[in-house]
Structures are given as structure tokens and as C-alpha cells.
Amino acid sequence: MVKLTQRLGGLVLRFAAFCAALGAVIAMITSRERSSFFVISLVAKYSDLAAFKYFVIANAIVTVYSFLVLFLPKESLLWKFVVVLDLMVTMLLTSSLSAAVAVAQVGKRGNANAGWLPICGQVPRFCDQITGALIAGLVALVLYVFLLIFSIHHVVDPFLLRKS
Amino acid sequence: MAREKIVVAGGSTKSWKLLLGLRIFAFMATLAAAIVMSLNKETKTLVVATIGTLPIKATLTAKFQDTPAFVFFVIANVMVSFHNLLMIVLQIFSRKLEYKGVRLLSIAILDMLNATLVSAAANAAVFVAELGKNGNKHAKWNKVCDRFATYCDHGAGALIAAFAGVLLMLLVSSVSISRLLINSKHLSTTTTVV
């Protein structure tokens, strides 16, 4: 009975991580805003900044990977490989999230020493949607940290942890 | 038995030596990255405007504290090098200690967390540095690197060291996880025989 709840918990976590990563990708792709002042109109889209493109690509990879691992049968030998892949995916998620947050922070506050003006004042809806995508990415990351511990527990024999 | 017995002899097995070597390199790489980035500073006197024939000069300083991503980079690299130092000391001075279940698991989990931390820091810094090097014409952000070339070069060196540290930390955490797996396999075979 304990094993069934463990397996179910792992599945629920992975499905939730899949949804969060998918939400992050969709929120960032559909963020596009046109702002016009005087006669110039600028379009702010996510592909202007390299860090956001990397965020979309990384979360898309995580979405596909979670979807594939959802269907892995319990007794398969591939679970050992899944541990290493989970670690690499977690590193990918943290790196993409932290890069996107660093660049978004520059966009929101600007950098007075470099003479970079913040852009969020002109395109507020774009900024809000990017913030939402980053929060979804953070949720996916936290779920994947739990999933990493879960996969290790799945591969390492359960009674190892009980005898200390 | 052909398999390594991590439980019985804590030290001088093959994976112990490999782990120690990798940790020493990772410690050196992350420490170098933290030191080079924290000493990164360049002051330049530039002409910002000319009124008539009189050029107005301003002294501008480029330092790493201006960019929060670089501050995070320095802090994270210091934390990871401290973790590696702690683990090296632990490994050298506890050779006779038995590595039972929870100890190996906690070392593996700490290694994984630090690997993700250093990868996050290196990536954030590299994307912000790319913004500084190439600018962004959509957001009208100018390049910084054409005026502060030494600052950019030192930053690039620190980033390269940090990425070497990322790779080494990934290897370190893989070896820690595999030690955990070997240990569990060893324990499970002994108990099923009994």
C-alpha cells in the first residue's frame, strides 16, 4: 500500500511539473505588446532577449521530458538513467530561470551605471506576463527538486533509508 | 567481491580517489571565478559632451556590484567553493568512518543542490554579460564592452572558470549518486543472502 501511494505521488508530482513547465512556455510565447509613443510604435516580444529564448527552449525540453517519463513503467531498468536525467533537467531549469530573472530584473529596474533605462514603464502588460511565466518556471523547478529526491528513493532500495 | 565496499572501508577505493580529485578541481575553479569577479573593477575618464571647444570629462567606474547578477555570481561561487572545501576536509579526515545510509544520501543531496546553484549563477551572469557585450537595440541598451574592455575580459575569464566549475560539480554529484547506488546494492545483496 505504501508503494502504491509512493508511485502515485511521484506521478502526480511529475504531471504537476509538466503542467507548470508547459504554462511557463505558453505564457512567455504569447507575451507580445505594442507600445506607441508619438509616431514610433515598438513591439516588445520575448524573442528580443536571448535569455527569454533560452527559457522557452529549456522549459519546452522539460515539458517533453516530463511527458515521456510519465509513461515509464515501474519496474523498468531505465529508472537509474532517469535519476541522472532528472539532475540534468533540474540544472537546466535553474539555469534558464535564473538567467531570465536576471535579465528581467535589468528590464524592470534598468542599470543606472550603464545608462540602461527600464522598459517596463512602456510595456506593463508584457512585463506582467513575463513575471507570470517566471513564477510558473519557479514552480516547475521546486517540483523537480522534489522529483529528484523521489527518483533517487525509487532507485535506491527503500529499506536503506530506514536503517541508519 | 568485485564491487567496492563503501560501507566497510571508508577510504582509498577508486571512487573515493576520483571524488577527491574532482572536488579539488571544482573547489579551485569556483574559488578562482569568485576571486576574479570580485576584484573586477575598471575606472575610465571619458568625454561625455563638448560645450563649444571645452570637452566635459566624467570619470566612470565599472564594478561588479552594479549588476545584481554578478553579485549573485560571486556569492554563489563562494558558497559552492566553501561546500567543496568542507567535503574535501570531511573526506580526508574521516577515512575510517563507515558511510552508512543517511550520510551518503545527505552528501549526494548537498552535492546536487550545489551543482544546481553554481549552474544558476554562471548562467545568469553569462546572459547579463552578453547583454553588456552586444547591447540590445530593441530595448535601446548600449554596449558597455567597447569602453571598458579590461572589465569585460576579466569578467569573461571568471565566467569560463565558473563554467568549468559547473561541469566539475555535475561530475561530482554524479559520482556521489553512483556511490549511493553501489552502497545500496551492496546492502541489499547482503541482507537478502542472510
The pLDDT tens digits of the residues spanning B56-115 come to 888 888 888 888 999 999 999 999 999 999 999 988 887 766 666 677 788 888 999 999
CA distance B41 to A8: 53
What distance in Å separates the CA atoms of residue B71 and residue A43, rounded to the nearest whole number?
Answer: 31
Phi, psi of B45 (to 5 degrees): -100, 120
Query: Are β-strands A40-45 and B41-51 bridged in parallel, bridged antiparallel, or unpaired?
Result: unpaired
The segments of chain A whose pLDDT lies below 70 read 1-2, 37-40, 157-164
The answer to whether residues A56 and A29 touch, using CB atoms and an 8 Å cutoff, is: yes
Contact, A8 vs A110, CB < 8 A?
A: no
Confidence of residue B38 (pLDDT cuts 50, 70, 90): very high
Q: Find the CB nearest A102 among B127, B142, B188.
A: B127
Which set of grid coordinates corresponds to residue B69?
A: 547578477
Q: Which cell numbers in the block locate residue B139? A: 530595448
Alpha-carbon distance A163 to nearest alpha carbon in chain B (angstroms): 7
Phi and psi for B140 in degrees, rounded to 5? 60, 50
CA dist., res. A103 & res. A110, Å (int): 10
**Chain B residues touching residue A137 (CB < 8 angstroms):** none
The packing angle between helices A79-109 and A124-155, to 10°, is 160
User: Is there a contact between A102 and B128 if contact means CB atoms under 8 Å apart?
Assistant: yes
- Residues of A38-67 as b/e, b for ≥16 C-beta within 10 angstroms? eeeebebbbebbbbbebbbebbebbbebbe
- In this prediction, residue A77 carries a pLDDT of 77
Q: Which chain B residue's Cα is nearest to A119?
A: B139
> In the predicted model, is pLDDT for residue B175 greater than 80?
yes
8 A C-beta contact, residue A55 and residue A100: yes
Between strands B54-63 and B41-51, the pairing is antiparallel
Alpha carbon of B164: minimum distance to chain A alpha carbons (Å):
15
Q: At what angle do helices B14-38 and B149-193 cross, to 10 degrees?
A: 160
Q: Between A50, A149, A157, which is nearest B188 by CB?
A: A157
| Max Cα distance, chain A (Å) | 72
